[in-house]
Amino acid sequence: MQHLVDTDDFSKEQIENIMHDAAAFKKEMPSKLLEDKLLITLFFESSTRTRSSFEVAAKRLGASVVHLDPSKSSTNKGESLEDTFENLAAMEPDGVIIRHEFNNTPKKLANKNLTPILNAGAGNYAHPTQALLDYFTMLEHFDFQELKGKTIAIVGDIISSRVAASGIRLYTRMGMNVVLVAPKPFMPDNDLPKYENLSEVIDKVDIIMSLRAQLERHKAPIFEDYDEYAKEYCITKDLFKEREILLLHPGPVMRNIDISDEMLTDKRCKVLTQVKNGVFVRMAILKALLLDN
Ligand code: NCD
């Protein structure tokens, strides 16, 4: 039984296969490979893209999906998360897709080995399917040439971001250079090159990944005025000019704080391509976990 807690649960060969399958699925919708499979989604935090993307991916492959709404489940009656999970696992699904505020929840449930666990976002620790779909979007942009040696700048509230955490681990493993651009309160503690201003890196990067300031995760407000923050960190046409840089954002985008309205409609900005690719990459991930194992 294989789980996906973070991308390092996949070998490099598996990642290559996932990229290959996702590209093939994008060219031509496959047959109902997972027709007899059933997945349960369990989202303890809000989600627009990830939950619907997993569901669309599963259904495109013919699988059934059952949603459990935690706000109406027995965790509300004092049942522990583990007990809730063990009850769901007793119904013998082919996998449980979980999003939770704690970093270690997916790992804890995976260790029980009752059913494959797919991490759809855990605290600020990991969001592996987002990292893989972002990696696919970069690969596709560079015509499936190696990304080794390409430089990506991750910009914004990096310390709160599980997308950044998973991305950093995946991109460095694949030989990419990762640099971080953020004001001090948003900067994590690691060995990567760090900058406070976008102007210092703009001529050195192939890709920029902008991130949302995750206000709901801040114990106390970090900036009083996000318009001031935007003056330095918002991605604008003025900053990009005619440079050939790929612009990514995992969503949800805070318009004119993360990325300007004008840049959101620029062809270098791939926010909706990421969402489109997310379905194909999740289809490939479901195939890898439920069929290829
Ligand atoms: C992110 C998340 O929830 O981790 N979004 C996503 O899944 N695409 C990032 C965010 O909430 O800002």
Question: What percent of the chain has a predicted confidence (pLDDT) above 70?
Answer: 100
Q: 57, 28 in Cβ contact below 8 A?
A: no
Cα 6 to Cα 73, 74, 168, 271, distances in angstroms = 26, 28, 12, 22
Sheet holding 177-181, edge to edge: 194-195, 177-181, 151-155, 207-210, 246-248
CATH T-level topology, domain 129-270 = Rossmann fold (3.40.50)
For ligand 1, atom 7, name the residue with the nearest CA: 50
Q: Is the CB of 106 under 6 A from ligand 1?
A: no
Q: Is the CB of 49 under 6 A from ligand 1?
A: yes
Q: What ligand 1 atom has the least distance to the C-alpha of 250? A: 8
Q: Is the CB of 162 under 6 A from ligand 1?
A: yes
pLDDT of residue 72: 75
CATH topology identical between 7-126+275-290 and 129-270: yes
At 150, the amino acid letter reads K
pLDDT of residue 225: 84
102-140 confidence digits (pLDDT tens): 999 999 999 999 999 999 999 999 999 999 999 999 999
d(CA 12, CA 118): 18
Spell out the domain ranges in the chain.
Answer: 7-126+275-290, 129-270
Q: Is the CB of 164 under 6 A from ligand 1?
A: no
CB atoms within 10 A of CB 166: 26
CATH T-level topology, domain 7-126+275-290 = Rossmann fold (3.40.50)
d(CA 253, CA 39): 29
For ligand 1, atom 8, name the residue with the nearest CA: 250
Instruction: Indicate the pTM of the whole model.
Output: 0.96
Rounded average pLDDT over 30-57: 96
212-271 confidence digits (pLDDT tens): 988 888 877 788 788 899 999 999 999 999 999 999 999 999 999 999 999 999 999 999
